[in-house]
Amino acid sequence: MEEWDLALLTLNSCPLFTYQDKDAPRLPEPARISLPLAPETTCDEIDDAGATPEVDTVHPTLRRLAAGNYKGTFHKAYVLLTEITKKIGWDQLLRIRSQVFVMEEEYRNEKQHAPGGSRNASTVALRGRETPQPNGHGEPLEEDHRDSEDMIQSEADSEVTDLQANGEPSAASSHLDPDVSKPTHTITVRSGDETPQPQPPDNDPSHQQYTQFQHKRLCERWLDNLFMVLYEDLRIYTIWRTEASQYRQQQLAYKKSAEEWEILGELAERLHHPEEAVEAWQSCLSMRFSPKAMRGVLDLYERKNDGRNQLGALIRLVAWQYRWYSEFSPDLLYIMRRLIEEEGAVKVRSIIQATSLPQHILDLTHQYAALCAAFRSSGSDDDVVDIVTDGDVLLDLGGLAGVQKEVSLRVSGRVISLASPVLRDKLYHATGASKNEYPRRLSVKDEDGDAMLLICNIIHLRNDKLPPRLPAEMLYNLAILSEKLQCGIAVSRATSPWFDRLFNAPAQVYVDMCRLIEATILLDEPIFFARFTARWIMNEPLDGKFAVAPTTHVRMKTLSLQLQQRRQSHIQALRADLDLLVDCCSLAFAKPAEHYVDYAPGMLPDPDDQGRTGSICRVDEGAATLYLGGLRDEKIWPATVWPPTLGEIVEAIKTFNIPEYDDCDKCEFCEGVKAKFSLAVTMLKSMHASRMWGLCLDCFRAETGTNKGECRYEHAKARS
């Protein structure tokens, strides 16, 4: 209806109650607190053991915001006030407030001009001066209307003086005399069966205008305080957005502490700015985990209907709950139940299992899905997953996402026949036994269910159903099943992003690099085969071995041998590379290079009057000594000071800076050690940048060890 004046008057007349917290006995303060971390909740992403308190880093104005402490009816009143402000703006709200409520200046002026007598302020405001009535005449209102007005009296003097502790506004912000009763505004109450009349135009005298003192009301103290609190929220919010915009224009980082971002997110949410709230919460989560910020981000994902990100946030909140010994949360269970109703239990469990978090963290979330299945929530009994809604084949699986429950995948028989010769043969034999059955069933219960679901989504081009990242173990299982079903060519087109995320994962340590390299072979990924083999060569100790199980495939034993041979050849090549640097310096110490200052080698200077023939030039020797010392300090030369891995040696050469030497111009006949050494360092860095440190997949598969044709990963080959 957008009658904002009546909305403020109604809000002013609403009864508000002191918030009563749960009536429970207070527990004594513990002498000490021990909160051991349960092993099943260990997760680096939500670990706050090393976090430092940020009390001193939070701005005092942010900490003094009182709106976040409101509870009960005061919280609801504040929400209504912010909704009105969001729709009409702060300036319009103040204008309407001044129209319907008595302002302080008006009250003082009226009090000064009020006639003497025994009447109180309410009667003065109502009967003090003869003014035209709303009916257009100078006649007073009817007696019954006056009686109804006198019945509506305020109780400002009975306000509770100390409500701040209960999360409610204080009465200290009122500027009016508490002993004065409040004038009221006449409101005609219609009977329930009377037809409401249309709203009159603005120039209709019967439409009440709040232009005179006796037509206004006194604002309740708590509402007056809410206006002040709302003003403070709007002020802080405006400052924040202005500063952020200025920093963005200057391309500077707008820095706040994690707790400050959390407070700003709550502020934006109170003022109904969801996008800005999520921006603040995401900034908080980028610094440290915050359950409050994560819940705010989860609400955004719910509004966008983003099920995958909802589950990601839900998993972390469940782990946080278990971290603080809360094994059950009704709110989180409700979110899980709603996701299962929308997406289906099988898909939800698959998305959870595909998340790159420790398995014990995922098991905690699986318990919530198991609760929904135990109580038979809608969607939890799905035993058929539609890959293709009109599919003619059902693939029977033994389980999904670690849950041993028979599930079927509805797929297209033509698609799986084109992608996998093995499935085509199985489908042909299964059809021969029951030709009239529709849809046809094919049992693959012995295969990995999660890997089979991924393969079906890939070959049916359901890219939107593929997870953005895949754990190394699941990627290995996918590669094994792809080789078994002979569908590696069809599957490999979708695996490159997963390999890329695993390779570029920050601070990722692969416990079993052997499986990742084997997966690149099975899925025919030449680029990532070269990258992962290079990582093993660079990061493994110089004397380490590529460990393979005795029962592993023969290709892995061959790979182990070739990796160790390639690493040994790199070590020998590195020794030869460093000889280039050392040779430049060793020439300065050779006997043929010895000469006098400003005389060529082999020439003797003329003796002076005292018979002295001059001094031997030591410029090149000084430069060579300085450069060799620099190589030794960076642990590049000699080989006895090398770091334990080849990658550290190569990185040291890459970042090596030639020491400054300024005595090279003291002699005209020096060998120029500085110029030669600089050229050798530049050549060495260039060779290392273009050198292939790993193995080539095409050459690895060749019987001779070198592919005679063109390789898919470009590299230099040894000449025959």
- Confidence band for 131, pLDDT divided at 50, 70 and 90: very low
- Confidence band for 129, pLDDT divided at 50, 70 and 90: very low
Task: Output phi, psi for 441, to 5 deg.
Answer: -110, 140
Q: What is the mean pLDDT of residues 668-682?
A: 84
Q: Is the pLDDT of residue 681 over 90?
A: yes
pLDDT of residue 596: 78
pLDDT of residue 188: 38
* Contact of 212 with 131, CB cutoff 8 Å: yes
Task: Output phi, psi for 210, to 5 deg.
Answer: -100, 65
pLDDT of residue 146: 37
Residue for token pair 């009377």 = 194
Name 118's bridge partners: none
Give the helix/strand (H/E) hosting 407.
Answer: strand 407-411
pLDDT of residue 598: 75
* Contact of 267 with 65, CB cutoff 8 Å: yes
Burial of 424 (0-12, 13-18, 19+ CB in 10 A): middle
pLDDT of residue 235: 94
Contacts of 361 (CB under 8 A, 6+ apart): 40, 41, 43, 315, 319
Give the helix/strand (H/E) hosting 409.
Answer: strand 407-411
Q: Is the pLDDT of residue 303 over 60?
A: yes
pLDDT of residue 221: 87
Residue 334 has a CB neighbour count (10 Å cut-off) of 11
Q: pLDDT tens digits for 210-224? A: 555 667 788 888 988
* Contact of 43 with 357, CB cutoff 8 Å: yes
Question: CA 467 to CA 391: how far, in whole Å?
Answer: 23
pLDDT of residue 52: 53
Q: What is the mean pLDDT of residues 340-346?
A: 83
pLDDT of residue 655: 94
Q: Is the pLDDT of residue 36 over 90?
A: no
pLDDT of residue 214: 62
pLDDT of residue 144: 41
Candidate ranges 341-345, 611-615, 637-641; pick with highest mean pLDDT: 637-641
DSSP assignment string, 239-259: HHHHHHHHHHHTT------HH
Task: Output phi, psi for 403, to 5 deg.
Answer: -100, 120
Side-chain-side CA neighbours of residue 697 (13 Å): 18
Q: Is the pLDDT of residue 158 over 70?
A: no
- Sign for the pseudo-dihedral over CA of 519, 523, 524, 525: negative
Q: What is the mean pLDDT of residues 542-562?
A: 77
| DSSP 8-state secondary structure symbol assigned to residue 397 | E
Question: CA 450 to CA 540: how far, in whole Å?
Answer: 32
Question: CA 449 to CA 401: how far, in whole Å?
Answer: 8
Q: What is the mean pLDDT of residues 314-323?
A: 91
Q: Is the pLDDT of residue 142 over 50?
A: no
Task: Output phi, psi for 62, to 5 deg.
Answer: -70, -35
SS3 of residue 410 by DSSP? strand
Percent of the chain with pLDDT over 70: 79
pLDDT of residue 430: 67
Q: What is the mean pLDDT of residues 643-653?
A: 92
SS3 of residue 659 by DSSP? coil
pLDDT of residue 412: 93
Q: What is the mean pLDDT of residues 595-605?
A: 77
Question: CA 658 to CA 664: how far, in whole Å?
Answer: 14
- Confidence band for 510, pLDDT divided at 50, 70 and 90: low
Q: What is the mean pLDDT of residues 590-610?
A: 76
* Contact of 149 with 182, CB cutoff 8 Å: no
The mean pLDDT of the chain is: 79
pLDDT of residue 478: 95
Q: What is the mean pLDDT of residues 376-389?
A: 76
At 569, the amino acid letter reads S
- Confidence band for 440, pLDDT divided at 50, 70 and 90: confident
Q: What is the pTM of this model?
A: 0.57
Q: Is the pLDDT of residue 275 over 50?
A: yes
* Contact of 550 with 531, CB cutoff 8 Å: no
Side-chain-side CA neighbours of residue 686 (13 Å): 6
Tokens (6 digits) for 352: 């959870």
Q: Is the pLDDT of residue 347 over 90?
A: no
Q: pLDDT tens digits for 348-377? A: 888 888 888 888 888 889 889 888 877 877
Q: What is the mean pLDDT of residues 505-533?
A: 83
* Nearest in space to 531 (alpha carbons), one of 351, 369, 713, 353: 713
Candidate ranges 161-170, 355-364, 569-578; pick with highest mean pLDDT: 569-578
pLDDT of residue 456: 94
Q: Which residue has the higher pLDDT, 279 or 50?
A: 279
- Confidence band for 186, pLDDT divided at 50, 70 and 90: very low
Q: Angle, nearest 10°, between helix axes 554-586 and 673-690?
A: 170
* Contact of 352 with 311, CB cutoff 8 Å: yes
Residue for token pair 């109780």 = 155
Q: What is the mean pLDDT of residues 245-257?
A: 91
pLDDT of residue 100: 87
Q: pLDDT tens digits for 469-490? A: 888 889 999 999 999 999 999 9
Candidate ranges 252-256, 511-515, 714-718; pick with highest mean pLDDT: 252-256
Helices (H), 540-642: 554-586, 619-633
Q: Is the pLDDT of residue 151 over 70?
A: no
Q: pLDDT tens digits for 74-119? A: 999 999 999 999 999 999 999 988 888 888 777 777 777 665 544 4
Q: Which residue has the higher pLDDT, 55 or 506?
A: 506
pLDDT of residue 143: 40
Percent of the chain with pLDDT over 90: 33
Q: Which residue has the higher pLDDT, 381 or 64?
A: 64
Q: Which residue has the higher pLDDT, 420 or 142?
A: 420
Q: What is the mean pLDDT of residues 182-194?
A: 39
Q: Which of 92-106, 443-457, 637-651, 661-675 is least confident?
A: 661-675
pLDDT of residue 380: 66
pLDDT of residue 63: 86
